Amino acid sequence: MLDVQAIRAQFPSLSMTLQDGRPCVFLDAPAGTQVPRRVAEAVTNYLYTANANSGGAFLTSRRSDAAVLEARRAMADFLGAPGPEAIVFGANMTTLTFAVSRAIGRTLKPGDEILCTGLDHDGNISPWLALEEERGVTVRFVNIVPEHGTLDLDDLERKLSSRTRLVAATYASNALGTINDVASIVSLAHQAGALAWIDAVHYAPHGLIDVQELDCDFLVCSSYKFFGPHIGILYGKASHLQDLRPYKVRPAPDEIPDRWETGTPNFECLAGVQAAVDYVASLAPGRGDNRRERIVAAMAEVRAYERELSQRLIGGLLELDGMNVYGIVEPEQFDHRAPTVACRLEGYTPRQVAERLGDEGIFVWDGNYYALEVMKRLGLEEGGGAVRIGPVHYNTPEEIDRTLEVLREMVLRRPPRR
């Protein structure tokens, strides 16, 4: 069982207050989590003791090389990858997807098809749409079931064909919190002879990832969504990383994974990535020295606790007059959602709700959060999208209650309906 108060003590930002002394409530995690002290210290320590480029014949350069390798090992443990050679770092998930999608595009021709979904962040859509213009391929979209905010797997199966070369899908929706049946998506893609590209950015802080069990070809995530610094991570099967031809400068190494990392790495943030993974593993103390085993145990605890937060939050929202909650709302189905909630309150724009909560020190997002296709399919885009409330394991039931209380006051103050 998670000791939430001990966890919160590790995050300096969670002690932030408004000018009147009221504590701030960080429910903005889907756009980026807060970081524990050990992550900031790892970044600082690198800059103080190892700040040099890689490949040199001296101490600080060798420390930089070690920082990169240790970050790869940490992410291999976090993702269940076979080894550090399967891990590629970049600026963020979107940049990595654009880079590798262009390399994949070199293998495509007019008439080939790529399947995207209506549930995805645009970082897993626009890079593939760009190949329509560059390579003449066809991008098709898998529908969602609007009333549940879930992916229509029957539609996916219908749209797969001998022309499908790649299926790009999200592990979990950054807008609605829906967790996809990724194992089935990967299996269906492979049965059609297509690659499976999985965006796990939103899922990573909420559940265990095992790329070998999934058998996905590629999986991308970003460490700033799971308590680390701003770095993107890509897992790729070794055969793909070796066979595809990257865009790179001529003197750059041609070995994997280095051949995919354009320019000088962000060494200090890579030190922070290792610290972030070690933080997650620390949530399961007393489980031995095997980091992967501790991550497995920790994510089970996180899932259980966040389900409690989901029930408290969604149950409270549904009690409010005029509140619309999108996505899965049935408690018996909460294994298929993250605690991220998109909602709208009648009588207010999403921006007005976010501003009112912000005035009370409660941080939430509004808009489309780059989940453009989701908002269009739900008919919300033209009306300003939705409010997104995004707790993670460092949030408390009391913070959920405080948020609900402000929303109740907004209901009471709402102008009369006409």
Report the alpha-carbon angle 176-387-351, nearest 5. Answer: 155
Q: What is the pTM of this model?
A: 0.97
Distance CA 252, CA 261 (A): 9
| Helix residue spans in 333-396 (DSSP H) | 350-359, 372-377
Q: Count of residues for the chain?
A: 418
Q: Rounded mean pLDDT of 230-239?
A: 98
344, 387 contact by CB (below 8 A): yes
Mean pLDDT of the chain: 97
Q: Provide the pLDDT confidence category of residue 190 given band limits of 50, 70 and 90.
A: very high
105, 81 contact by CB (below 8 A): no
Distance CA 232, CA 255 (A): 20
Let me know how many helices (H) and strands (E) the chain has, helices first: 14, 15
Q: Rounded mean pLDDT of 246-258?
A: 91
Handedness of CA 377, 378, 381, 383 (dihedral sign): positive
**In whole angstroms, what separates CA 39 from the centre of its chain?**
18
By percentage, how much of the chain surpasses pLDDT 90?
Answer: 96
The per-residue b/e assignment along 92-108, b for 16 or more CB within 10 angstroms, e otherwise, is: bbbbbbbbbbbbbbeeb
Query: Is 70 exceeded by the pLDDT of residue 382?
Result: yes
Query: Is 80 exceeded by the pLDDT of residue 417?
Result: no
Q: Which domains can be identified in the chain, with CATH numbers? A: 4-36+292-411 (3.90.1150.10), 40-280 (3.40.640.10)
190, 196 contact by CB (below 8 A): yes
Q: Rounded mean pLDDT of 143-155?
A: 96
By percentage, how much of the chain surpasses pLDDT 70?
Answer: 100
**In whole angstroms, what separates CA 349 from the centre of its chain?**
26
Q: Provide the pLDDT confidence category of residue 418 given band limits of 50, 70 and 90.
A: low
Q: Provide the pLDDT confidence category of residue 415 given band limits of 50, 70 and 90.
A: confident
Q: Is 197 exposed, middle or buried (0-12, 13-18, 19+ CB in 10 A)?
A: buried
How many other β-carbons are positioned within 10 Å of the β-carbon of residue 191?
10
Q: What is the pLDDT at residue 231?
A: 97
Distance CA 82, CA 416 (A): 60
Q: What is the pLDDT at residue 288?
A: 78
Q: CA of 277: how far to CAs of 191, 227, 265, in Å?
A: 34, 8, 18
Helix or strand (DSSP H, E) at 293 = helix 291-318
Q: What is the pLDDT at residue 286?
A: 78
Q: Provide the pLDDT confidence category of residue 381 given band limits of 50, 70 and 90.
A: very high
> Which residues on adjacent β-strands are paired with residue 28?
390
Closest listed residue to residue 233, CA positions, set 282, 199, 192: 199
Q: Rounded mean pLDDT of 385-391?
A: 98
Residues 6+ apart with CB under 8 A from 274: 42, 67, 70, 71, 73, 74
Q: What is the pLDDT at residue 33?
A: 98
Q: What is the pLDDT at residue 252?
A: 87
Q: What is the pLDDT at residue 416?
A: 74
